[in-house]
Amino acid sequence: MRTYLALPSLILCGVLCYMPTSGLSADEQLPSFTLPESQNQIIKISDVGLLPKTLEMKKEDGIVFFLNDSTDALITIDLDFGKSATHCSSENLEIGEDGVIRSVRPIAQKDFASACFHDAGTYPFTIYGLKQAPLGLKGAIIVK
């Protein structure tokens, strides 16, 4: 009865030994394709405000980084996606059921948070934590 159990293992070993390791020969190349041109965008949060306050980008650009470039502020972000789908955000941002992405914890100096934008539209945001703007600084991301 043990020979019946060993037979499938021997057949599998034989098949694996004679399988080609790659579908391409050394002379063949993978097909080429062109990725759409993209440029990740950055919004700097400094002691003097937002740079830029309104960011216009293409859908292909995809990602926006919010960089805390202040001298001593711990900032937080509220980013309103409304009814648009949110596909990704950095780990220190959390997607709420109301369509707003919010900071889970403050973003320190020289640190950043990021979010993806795949749908055209206007996405308002508010940055909190700067001393000169206790009610927050408002900006917008416009995706064309």
pTM value surpassing 0.75: no
Does residue 1 or residue 115 have the better pLDDT?
115
41-143: CATH, from 1.10.3720.10, 2.60.40.420, 2.60.40.10, 3.30.360.10: 2.60.40.420
What value does the CA radius of gyration of the chain take, rounded to a whole number of Å? 25
Domain residue ranges in the chain? 41-143
pLDDT in tens, 70-93: 999 999 999 999 988 877 889 999
CB 110 within 8 A of CB 71: no
- Structure tokens, 97: 């059921």
